Amino acid sequence: MRIDPSDFTQLGTDRTAKSNSKDTQTNFSDTLKDVILETNARAKESEKMAVDLAQGKSLNIHEAMVSMQKADISVRLLISATNKLIDGYKQLLQLR
Protein backbone atom coordinates (compact mmCIF):
# COMPACT_ATOMS: atom_id res chain seq x y z
CA MET A 1 0.00 0.00 0.00
CA ARG A 2 1.41 3.33 -1.05
CA ILE A 3 0.88 6.47 1.05
CA ASP A 4 0.73 9.72 -0.83
CA PRO A 5 1.63 12.92 1.07
CA SER A 6 -1.37 14.68 -0.47
CA ASP A 7 -3.60 12.41 1.67
CA PHE A 8 -2.40 14.30 4.74
CA THR A 9 -3.44 17.85 3.95
CA GLN A 10 -4.65 18.41 7.51
CA LEU A 11 -1.20 17.65 8.93
CA GLY A 12 0.49 20.49 7.07
CA THR A 13 2.00 23.35 9.02
CA ASP A 14 0.01 26.49 8.46
CA ARG A 15 1.86 29.38 10.07
CA THR A 16 -1.04 31.83 9.68
CA ALA A 17 -3.40 29.60 11.66
CA LYS A 18 -0.92 29.40 14.53
CA SER A 19 -0.42 33.15 14.70
CA ASN A 20 -4.19 33.82 14.65
CA SER A 21 -4.87 31.37 17.46
CA LYS A 22 -2.10 32.93 19.54
CA ASP A 23 -3.71 36.36 19.25
CA THR A 24 -7.01 35.11 20.68
CA GLN A 25 -5.41 33.38 23.67
CA THR A 26 -5.14 35.25 26.93
CA ASN A 27 -2.55 34.89 29.62
CA PHE A 28 -3.42 33.15 32.86
CA SER A 29 -2.42 36.24 34.80
CA ASP A 30 -4.76 38.41 32.71
CA THR A 31 -7.63 35.99 33.29
CA LEU A 32 -6.93 35.90 37.02
CA LYS A 33 -6.76 39.69 37.17
CA ASP A 34 -10.11 39.97 35.36
CA VAL A 35 -11.74 37.54 37.79
CA ILE A 36 -10.38 39.45 40.78
CA LEU A 37 -11.63 42.76 39.38
CA GLU A 38 -15.06 41.28 38.63
CA THR A 39 -15.32 39.82 42.13
CA ASN A 40 -14.32 43.15 43.63
CA ALA A 41 -16.93 44.97 41.55
CA ARG A 42 -19.66 42.55 42.68
CA ALA A 43 -18.65 42.97 46.32
CA LYS A 44 -18.71 46.77 46.04
CA GLU A 45 -22.08 46.69 44.29
CA SER A 46 -23.63 44.46 46.95
CA GLU A 47 -22.21 46.65 49.71
CA LYS A 48 -23.66 49.77 48.08
CA MET A 49 -27.06 48.11 47.70
CA ALA A 50 -27.00 47.02 51.35
CA VAL A 51 -26.13 50.53 52.51
CA ASP A 52 -28.87 52.03 50.31
CA LEU A 53 -31.33 49.53 51.74
CA ALA A 54 -30.31 50.32 55.32
CA GLN A 55 -30.58 54.07 54.73
CA GLY A 56 -34.00 53.72 53.14
CA LYS A 57 -32.89 54.96 49.71
CA SER A 58 -33.95 51.67 48.14
CA LEU A 59 -36.91 49.52 49.11
CA ASN A 60 -36.07 46.57 46.86
CA ILE A 61 -34.76 43.97 49.28
CA HIS A 62 -34.86 41.21 46.67
CA GLU A 63 -32.29 42.81 44.39
CA ALA A 64 -30.05 43.57 47.36
CA MET A 65 -30.18 39.96 48.57
CA VAL A 66 -29.50 38.58 45.09
CA SER A 67 -26.55 40.95 44.72
CA MET A 68 -25.17 39.86 48.10
CA GLN A 69 -25.49 36.19 47.17
CA LYS A 70 -23.71 36.75 43.85
CA ALA A 71 -20.88 38.54 45.64
CA ASP A 72 -20.66 35.78 48.25
CA ILE A 73 -20.46 33.05 45.61
CA SER A 74 -17.83 34.98 43.65
CA VAL A 75 -15.67 35.51 46.73
CA ARG A 76 -15.96 31.86 47.78
CA LEU A 77 -15.02 30.70 44.28
CA LEU A 78 -12.03 33.05 44.18
CA ILE A 79 -10.83 31.83 47.58
CA SER A 80 -11.23 28.21 46.51
CA ALA A 81 -9.30 28.79 43.28
CA THR A 82 -6.55 30.62 45.18
CA ASN A 83 -6.24 27.76 47.64
CA LYS A 84 -5.98 25.25 44.79
CA LEU A 85 -3.25 27.33 43.14
CA ILE A 86 -1.31 27.48 46.38
CA ASP A 87 -1.66 23.71 46.85
CA GLY A 88 -0.42 23.12 43.31
CA TYR A 89 2.54 25.40 43.89
CA LYS A 90 3.43 23.55 47.10
CA GLN A 91 3.28 20.23 45.25
CA LEU A 92 5.61 21.58 42.56
CA LEU A 93 8.06 22.67 45.24
CA GLN A 94 7.99 19.18 46.74
CA LEU A 95 8.96 17.66 43.37
CA ARG A 96 12.29 19.44 43.49
pTM: 0.66
pLDDT by 10s per residue, the chain, length 96: 455 555 555 555 555 555 555 556 778 889 889 999 999 999 999 999 999 999 999 888 999 999 999 999 999 999 999 999 999 999 999 998
In which domain, by residue range, is 65 found?
28-95
- Look at the chain and report how many structural domains it folds into: 1
Q: Is residue 22 part of a domain?
A: no
Q: Is residue 16 part of a domain?
A: no
Q: Is residue 14 part of a domain?
A: no
pLDDT score at 79: 95
Q: Is residue 83 part of a domain?
A: yes
Q: Is residue 21 part of a domain?
A: no
Q: Is residue 64 part of a domain?
A: yes
DSSP H helix total and E strand total for the chain: 3, 0
